[in-house]
Amino acid sequence: MAQPPCFDLIFFGGTGDLALRKLLPALYYRHRDTVDCSGWRIIAVSRQALDTAGYVAMVHEACKQFIPAKDFDEAVWTAFATRLEYLAIDATVPADYDKLATALAGSAERIRVFYLSTAASLFADICDNLAAANLVTPLSRVVLEKPLGFSLASATAINEAVARIFTEKQIFRIDHYLGKETVQNLIALRFGNSIFEPLWHRAAVRDVQITLAETVGVGERGEYYDRYGALRDMVQNHALQLLCILAMEPPSSIDPDEIRDEKLKVLRALRPFTPDDVRNKIVRGQYRAGAIEGRAVPGYLDEPGIPDGTTTETFVAMRVDVDNWRWARVPFYLRTGKRMQERMSEIVINFRAVPHAILPGNDAGNVNRLVIRLQPDEGIELHVLAKVPGADMRVKPVKLDLDFAETFKTRQWDAYERLLMDVISGNLTLFMRRDELDAAWHWIDPIHSAWATQSDPPKPYSAGTWGPTASSALIVRDGLCWKEES
Ligand code: BG6
């Protein structure tokens, strides 16, 4: 029987929002559902003056808040809490790492994961300090949270600093979208079935739409968000990674590098934007006051921490071309925004219309459509044309709907549960390789440069809508429309 894994998981930024809201609840679930967790050790590190008891109380509150009541069990919690330790360490102070060295003494044979859930500006210092304290062992891994850099130049500086201490195989660059169940299912759908591949190219596909829409605003993250904006926060990573998985060639195996090689080819095939393209093929927007689910919400400029008159975008829509044989002339539309009408992330593949329509109701807008829903309600829908019951021969689109929760009747793992377990087992498949990250920044940077020289500010849109009207115009110009408008 396989040995249960023994590991030391060290969270830098252990009192931060991500750790409390996502990482520790994810570990609670994994601890609950794993038979033998006797070898688990979770050490949270941050500057806050706390002891382990104080930290455990903090995590208890967070878990009660972020884990649904039906899943939260005090007995399970009590067992999980015994795995937690806390060390008050200033990550920038080398001498503070002595505390970590003492805690980790004698554990060099165990898997050691350093999870850097801090600002990327601290990554280099943390890596140097870990190395200086002799804490980096052959079984060590480092997890880097996004955003990894701000541009190609800053990402390169961070990657070089980390690479001085860790080998590429020890570096796990996380993009939590890749851990989502439906993204895994996209891989299963494409490469586990034979019926889709013959349709997966320019002859059969008319257009692809990727929408990552949120109803939340920037909340308490105003300072961070205003520096990054939607293009860096969502497109450079999540949207491009989805596009890669959708558009890549079939890899010859599920070996991490086989998959990452194919994703890299897609990134390199993205048509670069000229300054004119940036003006014509990209819409950037910024939300104004409006209403979300019947509740009035302020505009971006009135959110806490947002400087007056900032031109940071909270919405982006763009037409992307993938210049290779498979996808020539198939437009990919990407769209993401805060304070949109619905929380909805999905990939829509619209197939070409029938070459000659003979059935009433089969107009050009009624095409076969494959919808891969990431959230809410993860699932896959295939829209086909069926006859409307009755005397007349009339067709209309109906859905063949695979709802994962309904079909598999099991709780879907949160993305972080899968990704944390992958780090521990050393599986790099769902993590970005350095050359992928570089290629993504290489493609994104000219957009920012063009925006910096353009005088027109982001287009306003009311909170609770699908973004600026220019976003509809962008796609209507190509004779198409966004799925919710069709
Ligand atoms: C994060 C972004 O990476 O993804 C956030 O920084 C965004 O701004 C979040 O809200 C969205 O993730 P999810 O899983 O809720 O769609």
pLDDT of amino acid 78: 96
Q: Does any ligand 1 atom lie closer than 6 A to the CB of residue 181?
A: no
pTM: 0.95
Residue 394 shares a structural domain with residue 455: yes
386 neighbors 396 (Cβ within 8 angstroms): yes
Q: Give dist(CA 205, CA 367) in Å, integer.
A: 10
Q: Does any ligand 1 atom lie closer than 6 A to the CB of residue 214?
A: yes
12 neighbors 115 (Cβ within 8 angstroms): yes
Atom of ligand 1 nearest to the CA of 343: 16
- List residues with catalytic annotation: 238
Residue 63 shares a structural domain with residue 129: yes
Residue 446 shares a structural domain with residue 367: yes
231 neighbors 443 (Cβ within 8 angstroms): no
Atom of ligand 1 nearest to the CA of 218: 8
pLDDT of amino acid 470: 97
Name the residue range of residue 138's domain: 7-145
Residue 215 shares a structural domain with residue 260: yes
Residue 338 shares a structural domain with residue 197: yes
Q: Which of 426, 437, 448 shows the shortest CA–CA distance to 316? A: 448
Domain count within the chain: 2
Backbone φ and ψ for 262, nearest 5 degrees, come out as: -70, -40
C-alpha of residue 397 to centroid of ligand 1, in Å: 32
In a domain? residue 287: yes
Q: Whose CA is nearest to atom 8 of ligand 1?
A: 233
From 123, 145, 167, the end of a domain falls on 145
Backbone φ and ψ for 20, nearest 5 degrees, come out as: -75, -35
Residue 345 shares a structural domain with residue 387: yes
C-alpha of residue 119 to centroid of ligand 1, in Å: 16
pLDDT of amino acid 151: 96
In a domain? residue 388: yes
Q: Which of 18, 140, 15, 110 shows the shortest CA–CA distance to 416? A: 18
C-alpha of residue 210 to centroid of ligand 1, in Å: 15
Q: Does any ligand 1 atom lie closer than 6 A to the CB of residue 175?
A: no
Q: Which two tokens stand for residue 298?
A: 């302020």
Residue 92 shares a structural domain with residue 217: no
CA 142 to chain centre: 19
Choice from 66, 175, 210, 238 to test ligand 1 binding pocket (greatest atom count within 8 A of CB): 238
Residue 122 shares a structural domain with residue 191: no
pLDDT of amino acid 1: 45
Residue 75 shares a structural domain with residue 140: yes
Task: Write the CATH number for 71.
Answer: 3.40.50.720
In a domain? residue 158: no
* Per-position pLDDT tens, the chain of length 486: 455 689 999 999 999 999 999 999 999 999 999 988 899 999 999 999 999 999 999 999 999 999 999 999 999 999 999 999 999 999 999 999 999 999 999 999 999 999 999 999 999 999 999 999 999 999 999 999 998 999 999 999 999 999 999 999 999 999 999 999 888 889 999 999 999 999 999 999 999 999 999 999 998 889 999 999 999 999 999 999 999 999 999 999 989 999 999 999 999 999 999 999 999 999 999 999 999 999 999 999 999 999 999 999 999 999 999 999 999 999 999 999 999 999 999 999 999 999 898 888 887 778 899 999 998 888 899 999 999 999 888 888 899 888 877 888 888 889 999 999 999 999 999 999 999 999 999 999 999 999 999 888 999 999 999 999 999 999 999 999 998 877
Q: Give dist(CA 77, CA 65) in Å, integer.
A: 13
116 neighbors 143 (Cβ within 8 angstroms): yes
Residue 395 shares a structural domain with residue 258: yes
Residue 205 shares a structural domain with residue 286: yes
In a domain? residue 111: yes
| 44: β partners | 11, 86
222 neighbors 305 (Cβ within 8 angstroms): yes
**What letter would DSSP give residue 306?**
P
Q: Does any ligand 1 atom lie closer than 6 A to the CB of residue 233?
A: yes
- Cα distance between the two ends of the chain: 54
Q: Give dist(CA 367, CA 385) in Å, integer.
A: 8
pLDDT of amino acid 144: 97
C-alpha of residue 145 to centroid of ligand 1, in Å: 12
Residue 72 shares a structural domain with residue 214: no
C-alpha of residue 36 to centroid of ligand 1, in Å: 32
pLDDT of amino acid 258: 95
